[in-house]
A and B are shown apart, each in its own frame.
Chain A
């Protein structure tokens, strides 16, 4: 333990303020400097690599020229959002084992992408998820529906990231008060717009690669540091964590968060279902498979991503229990970002101002890279699916389509800034879980049906997408998440802070257990009740193409 933390523990004042008082001048300046350095370096790279950006394939898919390894690292960068890093480490630090459950769902989910989706999608589609869904069905309605769910998932996910940015600001940059947080959210939003406009998919991919390397290396250093303090004995680290935690032994067992009642247990099963089926339905993850030249490279991407993401989650396990032991639950709870601040506080505990600065910059880089990826996905979906294929019936010229994508990116950026300002007090891991629930309900059933079921029809797809999307969102709106939940002290634990407002009737916090089976059922029901004849020619093309890659999109740029 450093002298600083001993001093903090001794004074008995709020740890947050003690932390600042001990290091008021240096810390925010260091954090801001390191973060600014990251922004400058990545901007230079983005500008350099995107000089050749001309076509839609360049803007949306980076010319399809990234290698499997590059894309695998970029996928990790896209996937390991602030929720993974800050949210999971924080959840483990406060609730122990139950935080670990999140990371397992997030990892196992990749097998769905690896085995069932990535390669077939790469072979079949071009830029967006809807390319695959609408391949042999009616273009207009399917693309509209797919764009609606893409925008909805991206919006939830964006909110989570922006909320994370806002919540961290007090702690990391020494900015205090509403205005400071709002300004930071706006800065993140503007930077993200710049990355997307200037760099397109190619630039965004490089930002994600750089960020992923920084994040994984940073987490690895902290992990070995923590393990070193425990003599590289996991058991003794867990023992120290138990001794330091007010919850004692319980933090090593499942149940601290989800074991309270049968309802919370079912809620946990619901969450797990959404996590494991959500990943392969996340539009920004799916879109990354188009940035490689072939389905083989798409497979390699996922293999790389699984190794990186798996190792990273093993690190967060150590970091979470390390924070429980070295920082302590009281200090984490008293810090401005609560659970989200566990990892940064641990960094400060270990390596002082400098390591905190690095980790703070990495956390911001994480948020920045993920929001950029989300923005490009949402803008591609709108420009390619809605503008070109629905409004212009596929006849828009590429320049105007990319122009629409750029305008959309700006609009999404502004919406994200405003939304992030409103959502800044929400728990980010939880918001991301909601995005997963919507993705698993609205997107995955349709993707699987259209890839594997000959009898799937346009009506089935529309019922499944709209049914999954609507049921997930409606159930969230009428869940305790939005209104009517109070914590032990009587304070509101819902989005609506006024405890007298309570319109919740759905008992679960995660809708997946209902909305995912419902979406699968609707997809089947809609198909068997519709008389749409099989488009045999397109079905043959889709099946042959998805499995063999015959006629699949080729790379349009030289390898990077």
Chain B
């Protein structure tokens, strides 16, 4: 595969600074230009509005469980049917919520986030001379 040659991956001597407008055709946006664009601001806002509340949700749910397990063992030990008590169902509920959040996020990311991120990336890479790997080198080791 040709990228093996194109991506030195190890050439620590490469330094940054080559990312300015000079590297590509005039139309190629720089990172800073993309960062200032309305599309990127929108992408970032949508990402944060989705993952931050979801993170808060599962953390609150988890610590509710932890605190009940620690300080309300009587409540958790309340048997609902047979030997199955609230604590066990609550614990299994953590599994269910984790699986559910995983699926919700993966579906959202695939449908909503990826197309928008992909469009921005395509715009950036279209103007780059060697989008296959050279670019990655330049920024990395300052």
Task: Tell yes or no: B34 within 8 A of A by CB.
Answer: yes
CB A167 to nearest CB in B, in angstroms, measures: 27
Interface string of A243-283 (1 = CB under 8 A from B): 00000010011110011000001101100100010000000
Chain A contacts with B in 121-169, Cβ cutoff 8 A: 126, 131, 139
Interface string of A276-311 (1 = CB under 8 A from B): 100000000000000000001001101100110010
What is the CA–CA distance of A65 and B114 in the complex, to the nearest angstrom?
A: 20
* B121 in contact with A548 (CB, 8 Å): yes
Task: Tell yes or no: A221 within 8 A of B by CB.
Answer: no
In the bound complex, residues from chain B placing their C-beta under 8 Å from that of A233 are 82
In the bound complex, residues from chain A placing their C-beta under 8 Å from that of B51 are 115-116
Interface 9-mer from A24-32, A353-361, A393-401, A459-467? A393-401
* B85 in contact with A253 (CB, 8 Å): yes
In the bound complex, residues from chain B placing their C-beta under 8 Å from that of A538 are 16, 139, 142
CB A116 to nearest CB in B, in angstroms, measures: 6
* A111 in contact with B139 (CB, 8 Å): no
What is the CA–CA distance of A242 and B87 in the complex, to the nearest angstrom?
A: 15
Chain A, residue nearest B140 (CB): A126
Q: Indicate the size class of the contact surface on chain A.
A: 35 or more
* A112 in contact with B114 (CB, 8 Å): no
Known: A269-B70, A548-B117, A549-B117. A242 touches B7 (CB 8 A): no
* B102 in contact with A111 (CB, 8 Å): yes
* B34 in contact with A276 (CB, 8 Å): no
What is the CA–CA distance of A108 and B8 in the complex, to the nearest angstrom?
A: 38
User: Which of A108, A254, A536, A551 makes the CB contact (< 8 A) with B62?
Assistant: A108
* B136 in contact with A556 (CB, 8 Å): no
CB A111 to nearest CB in B, in angstroms, measures: 5
Known: A116-B51, A252-B88. A265 touches B70 (CB 8 A): yes
In the bound complex, residues from chain B placing their C-beta under 8 Å from that of A540 are 30-32, 34-35
| Chain A residues packing against B (C-beta within 8 Å) | 55-57, 97, 100-101, 104-105, 107-108, 110-112, 114-116, 126, 131, 139, 233-236, 238-239, 242, 249, 252-255, 258-259, 265-266, 268-269, 272, 276, 296, 299-300, 302-303, 306-307, 310, 313-314, 388-389, 392, 394-398, 401, 452, 536-538, 540-541, 543-545, 547-558
Q: What would be 27 A-B contacts, judged by CB atoms less than 8 Å apart?
A: A55-B9, A56-B9, A57-B7, A105-B66, A107-B94, A107-B98, A108-B62, A111-B101, A114-B102, A115-B55, A238-B88, A242-B83, A249-B77, A268-B69, A269-B66, A299-B109, A307-B99, A394-B13, A395-B13, A537-B31, A540-B32, A540-B34, A541-B31, A543-B31, A554-B133, A556-B7, A557-B4
Give 16 A-B pairs besides A239-B83, A543-B44 with Cβ atoms closer than 8 angstroms: A56-B10, A115-B55, A115-B105, A242-B83, A253-B73, A254-B76, A392-B12, A541-B31, A541-B139, A544-B40, A547-B47, A550-B121, A551-B128, A551-B135, A551-B139, A553-B9
